[in-house]
Amino acid sequence: MRILIVGAGKVGKTLAENLTNEAHDVVIIDNDEDVLHRCEDLYDVMVVEGNGANAQTLIDAGAAHADILIAATAGDEINMLCCLIGKRLGAKYCIARIRDPKYNESLTLLQHELGIDLAVNPERATALEINKLLRFPFASNIESFAKGLIEMVEFRAQPKDPVTGCMLRDVPTRLPGLPRVLFAAVERGGQVSIPTGDFTIQAGDRVYVAGDQIAITNFFRYMGRDTHPVKNVMILGGGRISYYLARMITPLGMHVTMIEIDPDKATLLSEDLPHVNVLLGDGTNQELLEQEGLQNMDAFITLCNRDEENLMTGLYASTQGVPKVIVKNNRVNYADVINRMGLDTIISPRQITGAYILRYVRARIGGHGTKVEKLYRLIDGKAEALEFIAREGEKYIGVPLKDLKMRENTLVAVIARRGKVIVPFGNDHIESGDSVIIITCEAGLGDLNEVIRT
């Protein structure tokens, strides 16, 4: 596919890297000549210097023949104008990054009038991810599929865990009370495996398990993990993610303390968030954190603009015994180092936004097969979880899984059928309308027929 990216910032570069890796023809538009040169050196892309909201620039970049135009500049209005002009010039689909909360209420109207097929708000999407983690504090990461029926949860195996040291095929007999879940993926020493029956979980492994919400909750209860609900939350930084998050979790009965160093911003937050305790101060100051009751918090979330501040304060909160510490970090290359430091729950707005847009792109790749409904990057992007809706008439319908040819390094993890969650074995089959969750170590898969063959 031919894809135009307007804006070579953090999100634009992440998309360029992922899309070129999936063999798409990518053109990047930006005003900064030096940034474009770096993009040419790093990625297999074409570049066009200029203003993406200028019709001539879009014409020079080939918007008339573009399959998808992605406007990801720092300005919401510029992004919307790019989409309007791009669609008029002939771009098939247009995606705009729209971040300002003031556009939320009129977003549907804006999309219709301006020809925007998908509006992406990185801050709100990140807040939604954090919200899920606060509702399931025993997890390092959690993804939802099949309209919330299926949960896929990451945890780090500990020496005391009942499953540690146990071969997976022996789990049902050695641990008969353990709820039935699927061990979907494991990362050990930087290597990702899709475990088979002879795989043994070891302490320190990052493990993904999948199942319905009740089974997942009971699984962690059996494992002895803390399932105590989060009541008191401290948020460091008063940016847009913090604003969206506070709006989401205060109605759930969570008491929120937010620390913001900028006086004007702190005043505005106090007015806009009357149920939040907004404090003016430096959240990296340990004395301030202790004074405001850090040790009594159920969760501490660092959402400053600087990754270094987030990491240092997150580490301090962890040493003070805060049960749930969530750190914002966009430097994905350091994820393994951060995990070894004891911070398991890392969120990256850049990665969340990139995965959201990639899912949309894959669903629009030519052909008539079974397209991606949801896409999540697992284990720092080393594996993917894909959701498909099985279509009537496909050759795999009704055939036992043991009789199908599966793509190497892929696994049919879970099937959701008419409200029921199935952890499949060889004699199970796929029916029309099923939500089918696939785990794969390969990137770029966009069709269920690429995974399953008769």
User: Residue 399 maps to which CATH number?
Assistant: 3.30.70.1450
Identify the pLDDT of residue 110: 87
Residue 163 inside a domain? The answer is: no
Contact 325, 318 (CB under 8 A): yes
CB atoms within 10 A of CB 27: 20
Claim to verify: residue 290 and residue 376 sit in the same structural domain: no
Claim to verify: residue 9 and residue 115 sit in the same structural domain: yes
Identify the pLDDT of residue 339: 66
Identify the pLDDT of residue 226: 64
Distance in angstroms (rounded) separating the CA atoms of residues 423 and 170: 17
Claim to verify: residue 366 and residue 285 sit in the same structural domain: no
Residue 199 inside a domain? The answer is: no
Residue 247 inside a domain? The answer is: yes
Claim to verify: residue 317 and residue 367 sit in the same structural domain: no
Identify the pLDDT of residue 332: 65
Identify the pLDDT of residue 333: 65
Claim to verify: residue 309 and residue 378 sit in the same structural domain: no
Identify the pLDDT of residue 342: 67
Claim to verify: residue 298 and residue 371 sit in the same structural domain: no
Report residues of the chain scoring pLDDT below 70: 226-227, 332-336, 339-340, 342, 365-370, 454
Claim to verify: residue 38 and residue 109 sit in the same structural domain: yes
Identify the pLDDT of residue 234: 97
Residue 147 inside a domain? The answer is: no
Identify the pLDDT of residue 259: 96
CB atoms within 10 A of CB 351: 23
Contact 433, 355 (CB under 8 A): no
Question: Which residues make beta-bridge pairs with 374?
Answer: 387
Distance in angstroms (rounded) separating the CA atoms of residues 116 and 255: 37
User: Where does 223-285 have alpha helices with state H?
Assistant: 240-249, 263-272
* Residue 283: CATH number of its domain: 3.40.50.720
Q: Could you tell me the strand order of the sheet in which 345-347 lies? A: 277-280, 255-260, 232-236, 299-302, 324-328, 345-347
Claim to verify: residue 85 and residue 18 sit in the same structural domain: yes
Question: Number of folded domains in the chain?
Answer: 3
Of the residues 322, 340, 371, which one is the last residue of a structural domain?
A: 322
Contact 314, 128 (CB under 8 A): no
Structure-token match 């105590």, residue found: 228
Identify the pLDDT of residue 369: 57
Identify the pLDDT of residue 277: 96
Of the residues 98, 120, 142, which one is the last residue of a structural domain?
A: 120
Residue 226 inside a domain? The answer is: no
Identify the pLDDT of residue 91: 95
Identify the pLDDT of residue 399: 92
Of the residues 83, 99, 120, which one is the last residue of a structural domain?
A: 120
What range defines the domain where residue 58 resides?
2-120
Claim to verify: residue 18 and residue 111 sit in the same structural domain: yes
Residue 36 inside a domain? The answer is: yes
Claim to verify: residue 313 and residue 367 sit in the same structural domain: no
Helices then strands, each counted (H, E), the chain: 14, 24
Claim to verify: residue 306 and residue 366 sit in the same structural domain: no
Residue 208 inside a domain? The answer is: no
Residue 312 inside a domain? The answer is: yes
Q: Is 355 strand, coil or helix?
A: helix
Claim to verify: residue 371 and residue 303 sit in the same structural domain: no
Phi and psi at 209, nearest 5°, equal -120, 150
CA angle 434, 438, 442 (to 5 degrees): 150
Which distant-in-sequence residues (6+ apart) come within 8 Å of 266 by Cβ? 238, 260, 278, 279, 280
